[in-house]
Amino acid sequence: MSPNVTRRVVLAATAGGLVLHERIGRADDTTPAPPSALPQKAIDVELRVNGSRFPLNIDPRTSLLDALREQAGLTGTKKGCDRGACGACTVHIDGRRVLSCLTLAARCQGKAITTIEGLNAGEDLHPVQTAFLHHDGFQCGYCTPGQIMSGAALIKEGHDGSDAEIREWMSGNICRCGAYPNIVAAIRDASREG
């Protein structure tokens, strides 16, 4: 089915070279014990998010998503699957869209991270945010930060040539509320403006 193909395309484009953090094992009498998870020493990392510095003392296994949500207090970036399958956690790292659940926070030292909280400047919304608001490109709003971060990146990537192209390059961001037609309309509008 094409959903898989398109997800893979987007994953390849956004998550290349990043490390999948440790899978969680299950307890069962029939399976051998998982390798014992060694006590991890906390490490110091300084994250640069939306132009501010966040000096954090983190467990090295921490994903960028958990570091943002649980430690930096930036909960705008959402956790939908924690496995690179839904796009809710999309942020920009050095200008490219990246799945923060598949990214180790420890590898982000020195990089410029932008989250939904930093996409707009002050009170003015980013054109993609404005367009989502007017086109009702969401319902529950939970996938929305990821959709908007993807949409803003998509326009910069030049993948806004047609509705079909927008659909394809937005297919790594699942919206269970099914706002897709409105999302496409919003991105089309914002891309004309920019």
Partner 1 sequence: MASIGQGVDRVDGRLKVTGRARYAAEFPISDLVHAVLVQSTIGAGTIAAVDMGAAQAMPGVLAIITPDNAPKLAMKGGAQQAVRAPLLQDNAVHFNGQHVAVVVAQTLVQANAAASQVRIRYRRDEPVTSMDAALAQAYPPKNFRNGERPPDSRRGDPDTAFDGAAAKVDVTYITPIEHHNPMEPHATIARWDGDRLTVWTATQGISGAQQSLAGLFGIAPQDVHIVCPFVGGGFGCKGNTWPPATLAAMAAKVVGRPVKLAVTRAQMFTSNGYRPRTVQKLRFAADDQGRLVSMRHDGFSQMSQPVLGEFSEPVGLATEMLYACPNVAVSHRLVATNASLPTYMRAPGLASGNFALESAIDELAVALKMDPLEFRLRNYAEQEPHQNKPFASKALRACYQQGAEAFGWSRRSAEPRSMRDGSVLIGWGMATSTYPTHRMPASAYVRLGADNSALVRVGTQDLGTGTYTVMSQIAANTLGVPVERIRFELGDSAFPHAPVSGGSMTVASVGPAVKAACEAARAKLQRDGGEVAEASVDVKPGEEEHRYAMHAFGAQFVEVRVDAELGEIRVSRFVGAFDAGRVMNAKTARSQLIGGIVYGLGMALLEETHVDGETGRIVNANIAEYLVPVNADVPDIQTIIVPNDELVSNPLGAKGIGELPMVGVAAAVANAVYNATGVRVRKVPIRIEDVLV
**Judged by CB under 8 A, which stretch of 12-20, 92-100, 106-114, 129-137 contacts partner 1?**
129-137
Q: How far is the CB of 107 from ligand FES (least distance, A)?
A: 16
CB atoms within 10 A of CB 94: 11
Cα within 13 Å of Cα(80), Cβ side: 23
Q: Which of 155, 184 has the CB closer to partner 1?
A: 184
**Judged by CB under 6 A, which stretch of 25-33, 40-48, 138-146, 159-167 contacts ligand FES?**
138-146
- Strands 90-93 and 112-114 come out as antiparallel
Considering the rule CB under 6 A, would residue 37 count as an interface residue with ligand FES? no
Coil, helix or strand at residue 53:
strand
Coil, helix or strand at residue 50:
coil
**Ranges within 50-89 binding ligand FES (CB under 6 A):** 79-82, 84-89
User: Residue 125 touches which of ligand FES, partner 1, none (CB < 5 to 8 A by kind)?
Assistant: partner 1
- Helices (DSSP H) in 53-160: which residue ranges? 64-66, 127-135, 144-157
Choice from 139, 157, 159, 188 touching ligand FES (CB under 6 A): 139
